[in-house]
Structure 1
């Protein structure tokens, strides 16, 4: 932010390169959980730092990076204060949030009574480990959808091709690992590792090339019937005409936004309430970087989505909660 770049909660997902990189990383993690190859975050940290602490840090870092689009509704006020205040205040707020994220582990590790009530280790852990791979693969599908909205189907094809290549890399790396454990063949192991590394390099080069190419026409911002794209000029025009306006600031990478749309906005009762009152629905899509939307959010003390506001005719705007229900929406516009 001090360097002049806009900062917001979850805004890293506005970068197609970041979306694809996380998709590939989660896919490799899923293969790891299934036993295709064996690399733990702790072992990676030991290689880098000589202890397990580096791996612990990397695990926490990954959790925070991937989870940020979903956490904003629960910490909107704290996040706005952290990003809008002084650097010292921001560090203190994020430190407190980090302690909250680590609290379950601290509780189990620090209170013997809690640890004694945890399930005993056994074969079920291996099965659970494999089961957990499938939520990661589901997340990869979601990220593919986000990439399609950001850059078009050609970019998705590049991402999917990278998934296949990385799958091959993980498999051949695992072959080398098993050969090393069973037979100790150094030549075969080295060959497998070189091939796996080459696949990763090819994926990185292809991604860089894809990001340099002009983006194809995308469906993001293509709003549905009865919905207009948000702009400050259109908002001012509608308010000057005395028309009621409902504003929905959303993003395709925001899971909470998608859930709110399905359960609270795109439902017959709410849609009928909008039509009967002549409410104009303005939708701001923050999937890609948009300076106008960022400024609007900042002006209302927010640094992320979802954000909902209702303007009754000739009245100030009313901010709705970040987790919606049909009743909340109908009650707000009814007033």
Structure 2
């Protein structure tokens, strides 16, 4: 009997304890779209002590309601407690929901919107309004009422909803943030590295601060990342930008924090040690000698040593001086162009069809000289000897100048890092990096001229030198023909016509100059005058070459790059291969032929459903420039692979192989 009495007492106590908890959710307000109730976190209240009450919305499949900033459309819910003081709604992190062409910030399935209340009685009356949307939007509202007993609070049956809500509220950010006038958001923290961050996005507190539907390109570096936000009409570059930042790591875990970005430019990226930059610069210049742009020049210099026995070091010094002067001049030009607001990088001068046409004529003239149409000193390596008057060293100087000019369409390993780091450094370091790159370019010739053993290995001077010199004219003609194609990409058919007319005039100038070189004074002066007139006429033609509007044509299977298209493909979870190239970039064209356009790579793209985006930097498109800098480059080529479903991006080598591309695809 005592045992039965104990069971009855326990059941009675459980009923008394559970009754108030179940009663602490209001009667539901239901529609086909949502069910709304008012719930409390505690099962009792103390007069004058705060406790939490929340609007609970359970939405049907496909329906959603909105955050405090609804985005491009929508209205946020509102909850008003009668006869009591209350805090604003404590908003959990929303989801980005695309509704046709607009982006909204919303909640799907179920959400709890709590407020903190301080009341004197346990009777809670509230009025709420909310908008639910699917294919259409329907405003809903209702009055709610529930009664809490006065007593010592303890968790209600709905306390778990509040605990879940607290886990969904964005935390205070441990990271510092800045917002630049152009909308670039920079977030800095030691945990933020390319190895940890795979995706990030920002939701502003207020509408019309940013264009909500615009892509937010992400660039991660050691100790931080940038999001390229697109400012809207309400954006104020002089005020803080606040909102919710979501960061996803490699495990797929999402961290939501509240950020308060202060106005100011992003701090400079941490630079590699100067010694490392200089080593990379030297190696990049050294390997540049093996590129198709430079190798013919180096071959001519090596051959010339056989004809300058005993004077090789003087020619090496002159050649190196020409290389260094031209590299430093290029660095200074880059710095001036950037100071003027131009998006300039390695090879920037080749984005001008006027420069490309002039280079075409110069290489064609070099070819004519090597072919024997006219003579300046002892060929290319002796160019300018009549001015210098001593052993043709001026010719070696101008050969060094020419070697650098024709080298700029090529990119060698290590150069990308060195150029990007150099341009991000103070001007003095920039000039030093480019000078060391010049030393790397001239190093083989210096070594060859400084070692008599190597010179003695060369065949004795003879007829073979003249034959080889004439043979070396054909790489010059080939380079000129390629540059004509570059002009066609930049200036269209009219540019090609102007360049071809200039070639005729330069050809005539070389012929008449050479035909009268051995004549007496009067005929020689007449020939020089006619050559000068032809060159001036070519200059007049050059001034008429103009850049034509950029076309949108791309090769088969490739789409034109845009930040919006890249963001859309990544949001859809597709793997993306990005190729940044230019018509004047020889390295880019070779890589495309041997490593990207092969049947094996194209088949791998198709099998893995890889989207192929190709960006043409021939005319230095600002959007492509921004992408290059986001990935630590200041020139092309650049190859970046983005795995599907938010994987981390991988930057591929600048000298690309088919095997390297296939490896990256198979590892994704």
Tell me what 1:248 maps to.
Answer: 579
Within a 5 Å distance, the mapping from 1:7-156 to structure 2 comes to 7-40=344-377, 45=384, 53-156=393-496
Unaligned runs of 5+ in 2: 1-337
Q: Is the 8 A contact 2:383 2:396 kept in 1?
A: no
Q: Secondary structure, in 3 states, of the residue corresponding to 2:517? A: helix
2:640 match: secondary structure = strand
Contact in 2 for aligned 1:230/1:283 (Cα 8 Å): yes
| Rounded Cα–Cα distance in structure 2 between residues aligned with 1:169 and 1:326 | 45
2:570 aligned residue: 239
Correspondence for 1:264: 595
Larger RCO: Structure 1 or Structure 2 (Cα < 8 Å, ≥ 6 residues apart)? 1
Please tell me whether the aligned partners of residues 69 and 255 of structure 1 are also in contact (alpha carbons under 8 angstroms). Answer: yes
Structure with the higher strand share, 1 or 2: 2
Using the TM superposition, give the Cα deviation of residue 273 of structure 1 relative to its aligned residue in structure 2, in angstroms. Answer: 1.2
Count of residues paired in the alignment: 326
User: Matches of 2:571 and 2:499 in 1, distance apart?
Assistant: 46
CA separation in 1, counterparts of 2:414 and 2:463?
36
Does the CA-based 8 Å contact 1:244-1:280 persist in structure 2?
yes
Match for residue 541 of structure 2?
206
User: Residue in 1 aligned with 2:559?
Assistant: 228
Is 1:318 aligned to residue 621 of structure 2? no
Q: CA deviation at 1:249?
A: 0.4
- Could you tell me how far 1:50 is from its partner in structure 2? 6.5
Mapped partners of 1:20, 1:236: distance in 2: 37
Cα separation, 2, equivalents of 1:159 and 1:4: 29
Q: Does 1:296 align with 2:627?
A: yes
For residue 339 of structure 2, what is the aligned residue in structure 1? Answer: 2
2:518 corresponds to: 178
Query: Within 1, Cα distance between the matches of 2:518 and 2:477?
Result: 24
CA distance in 1, matches of 2:556, 2:626: 26
How far the C-alpha of 1:31 sits from its partner, in A, is: 0.7
- Aligned partners of 2:389 and 2:540: how far apart in 1? 30
Quote how far apart the aligned CAs of 1:117 are. 2.0
CA distance in 1, matches of 2:425, 2:398: 27
Question: Per-residue CA shift, 1:157-212, capped at 9, x if unaligned?
Answer: 11112111211111111111021xxxx2x22111111111001111110110233x
Cα separation, 2, equivalents of 1:224 and 1:91: 38
Equivalent residue number for residue 195 of structure 1: 530
In the TM superposition, residue 256 of structure 1 has moved relative to its aligned partner by 1.5
Q: Aligned-pair RMSD on alpha carbons?
A: 1.9
Partner of 2:211: none
How far apart are the structure 1 equivalents of 2:511 and 2:631? 50
Instruction: Please report how far the alpha carbon of residue 33 of structure 1 lies from its aligned counterpart in structure 2 after TM superposition.
Output: 0.7
Taking the aligned partners of 1:108 and 1:72, their CA distance within structure 2 comes to 21
Mapped contact 1:9–1:72 kept (Cα < 8 A): no
Deviation at 1:291, TM superposition (A): 0.8
Aligned to 2:501: 161
> Is the CA contact (8 Å cut-off) linking 1:227 and 1:282 kept in structure 2?
yes
Counterpart in 1 of 2:146?
none
CA shift for structure 1 position 46: 5.0
